[in-house]
Structure 1
């Protein structure tokens, strides 16, 4: 029996650009930046070398019920809000609990809860440590919150594979729908680690941009002056559905999820495999094969493109290896320029952008690209770019520390 086709029927986000997916997309097309100077006293008190990040535009505690917010780490708060946005956007599907699943992701988990509880233990003793500390800090807390919110009983799985996490989760959801584990799956990812420790640690790795005087200009993928990524936070979700189930309920279909692939470099804990014919191009080829499409079918790529000097070139060489001269005809968007790098949630929000690009036939802009790196000759959209008529296919790339690679393939509905 042929595997069922899988479609996207809902999108959700809680991001540095806006508190929902549609407004996030509008802000992205307008060329807005979510990077901003941190309003917290600790940034100056601790003498952090980086004093800005792409924090969510709206604080989740302003939206959530007070008791609800108190029981969730910030990452789980963002996840629940993104999932609610996607579920409402999908028309709140009427699906049996046993046929509804969750495939979620994070790169780090409840770091705020963990480190705050440690501070409490040291300063006030063990009796003052909050009793829900462990359920709040565990990486699967967000998946659990979503599962309980929507009574999803077909499994609530969590992927933790650094910055490839949520793209891998979307690929897992595709597999689970194809295998018949569920009719509907809420898939995506979350991250909320704009905390002094991760900021200091990433800065020590020389991974972060240090443009403290101009945060909105700091993330500049493919630019000759790029000096690192901007740490971001947020969450995004897709409602994925068997096409027959979606059509039976008269759902609006944004796009089709055609395929995906996951590989690993087995090379280095943080540096990408520099080989132009290594695991990264293999991931793209496997994703295309799984989707049943060819390099000639791809019209748009939402690149991983973090704005690091080494990473952007490595991804470019891999894309050139896969697409050859055809790459010159593919419109590339590097949307971390606007959102910052959401780590474990990056693949999810970029999947939302890829879906919207196909639905509206518009590649979103890459902001801050004023001096293109001559070593990366790509056709990068620096303003909203119209995509052609007809059936369109797009790729979304995600790569993470540990050599994790995940690529998904979407097409117009």
Structure 2
């Protein structure tokens, strides 16, 4: 009976920046085609060595620095006995020269092994296992993404995986499981990124790398799911800090509230910037909304206090910073209200009557002339049908009614604007 790869534990065990370090072939140093007596002899050799040494270096040229201890080596050999675990590790390790029995195109093994080496070296560089300048890391990522992307996009791995499952000949894994295994592989390959994005500078640099992965169909849509937890954790921290700042504001501890917003909430929101391409628009806008509201609420509260007690120079700077930052962060749906508050605070604080410059809008001449032409044509038709005096009388009456309506709407809008300005 076929066991779908989605039920394997191996994907979860390998996921992360240690993707290649935990590979059983990296740990044991065995080739991916090793089986039977060859595996047993190599195990006996390593056990004898580890009886007198603390560590074994692992696979030559590819395994990470530091080597492996006795328990890691023993666990790796145990993993080799389960074909469902072994096949995941085989796909993520070197195949070597073409197996005459697998029937793969001549360049598939070479491209696969290049993908493994490049990807593993890029991860080792990002985790500090090897020293590499940033520009060299970028080159590694570029070629690793391209190699894995082309392999998975054209299905070149499927034939080899099915061949290897047949060669193992274990009833616990049917060759049809190759499709499930390869379907789960793209997510495993990009699983290190949530950990790498924990560092803000690294995250900003690797954003383009993530975008390059998504250019290949097998990886499209994966990053939103992978970063969902990271986004949720960031939002929970921002939300907790906002609640604390709100309590400080309600207790009239304005300085403490300001410091929380400036030093924790805003930096926390800015840390989401590298994840922006992989977060849904509605989710990002929702986070931006709550942050902008928190900033704006404190700015308005400080404005209310300043009406009765002139603010100090530092308090003025805080008010303007809060209002400006709220407008900068807030989503489009909040921009009008936040801009009004910013202008009001700016007027009050500076006392100069100057406001932040509004974007000048061009007069819609084309629309104006089009409406004028339509109205003129309509009036000409009505005059021709009913005569000049009746049309003039009705037109004056309509203009009078419209004038009253416009005045009423202007009065209503002014009242709403004053209410929004009022602290």
Which structure shows the bigger proportion of residues in helix conformation? 2
- Please, what TM-score do these two structures have when normalized by structure 1? 0.25
For the pair shown, which has the larger CA radius of gyration, 1 or 2? 2
User: What TM-score does the superposition give when structure 2 sets the normalisation length?
Assistant: 0.24
Tell me which of the two structures has the higher relative contact order, counting C-alpha pairs closer than 8 angstroms and 6 or more residues apart: 1
